Amino acid sequence: MTRHPALEGIAFLDDATRPSAPPLDGLTDAQRLPGRHLAMVHAHFRDNMQMLRGLIEQAAAGRIGAGEARARAEALPMLENYRRFGNLCGQHCRIIEAHHSIEDQAIFPLLRRRGDALRAVVDRLQAEHVVVHALLERLIVALEALAREPGETRFAAARAVYDALERELLSHFGYEERSIGDALGYYGIGV
């Protein structure tokens, strides 16, 4: 598969090489709550990504102009809560980075202590965070370039990076929910 030049140098990981988490049987409803909370946080990100995808597609098709796309993007629910912190991409990047920082610094160390199988899963999740953050940084660069000099080439670069970010994040969220969702409650780790 040929990748867009805007994605060169990013060390994408093969989903087929993801380690599996150990099965946890007999969880109570209360023990499943932290995993459900994690899924709800991810659902918020998914919803906003779907809205952003729609804006990109409408802009690409010429159905909306830059002004309307910006107005709609600024009305996204995630932006209402984070309006004071910068531009659209900066806000999304900060939110994802904060989410991953909490996992990396507070949740993953606790899970890592629960055995080799979970340690392997956590190591993989952290490696995926590195890829996601590289894509977030590339997206900022691509969007800044597009804003400075609009055109088809720059739009294609921004869209290629966004497509890769969306694909990686959606896959990552699903893997994380399946792999550590139950473990959070089983081991009493709050989200």
State pLDDT tens for residues 57-84: 777 677 766 666 666 666 655 444 434 3
pTM higher than the cut 0.85: no
Say how far apart CA 48 and CA 2 lie, in whole Å.
28
Whether 79 maps to a domain, the answer reads yes
Whether 47 maps to a domain, the answer reads yes
Whether 191 maps to a domain, the answer reads no
The CATH number for 168's domain is 1.20.120
Say how far apart CA 88 and CA 76 lie, in whole Å.
9
Q: pLDDT tens across 117-159, in order?
A: 999 999 999 999 999 989 988 887 887 787 777 778 888 898 8
- Domain that includes residue 133, residue range: 29-186
Number of domains the chain contains: 1
